[in-house]
Amino acid sequence: MAKWFGKKENKLDLQPGEFEVLTTPAQRAWWENGKLIITNYRIFWYPTLNTSQSAATVEIGMEKILGCVEIRSWYYLLTQPALRILLISGKSIDFHDVKDFGGVKSNVERFMGRERYVPGSLFNS
């Protein structure tokens, strides 16, 4: 339907062996609405079509994730939980107003630290 109105839809380019696990609405910063997509190897966040043009997409490899924690965000005056993704580099990325908070948190914990399978590496030690 977005094609009819000339709007651009985000196409997810999955790598071999990668599959989509969960998709849910979430916010990144002040009123930047978007869609959070969890695969078995990466996390994506795409801004929705009505979000400002300054919103940047996010792509994080699961091998770069150290953990995830629930925080209380000032964006909602500490009333709603937000998900903070902790990266190995020491940085963190916050997602606010995550509709399926428990599902996202459990799937990130399940797949974090997982490296991508390299063909031919199964029997090499």
Q: What is the CATH number of the domain that holds 56?
A: 2.30.29.30
| Residues 95/45, Cβ–Cβ less than 8 Å | yes
Residue 63 is assigned to a structural domain of this protein = yes
Other Cβ atoms less than 10 A from the Cβ of 28: the count is 22
Does the predicted TM-score (pTM) go above 0.85? Answer: no
Q: How far apart are CA 114 and CA 73, in angstroms?
A: 28
Task: State how many domains the chain has.
Answer: 1
Give pLDDT, residue 125: 57
Token pair listed for 115: 């490296």
Q: What is the DSSP-derived secondary structure letter of residue 82?
A: E
Looking at the DSSP assignment, which residues form a beta bridge with residue 58? 45
Domain that holds residue 92: 20-111
Q: Evaluate whether residue 121 is within a structural domain.
A: no
Q: Is residue 6 part of a domain?
A: no
Largest Cα–Cα distance in the chain? 53
Residue ranges for the chain with pLDDT beneath 70? 1-10, 50-55, 75-76, 79, 116-125
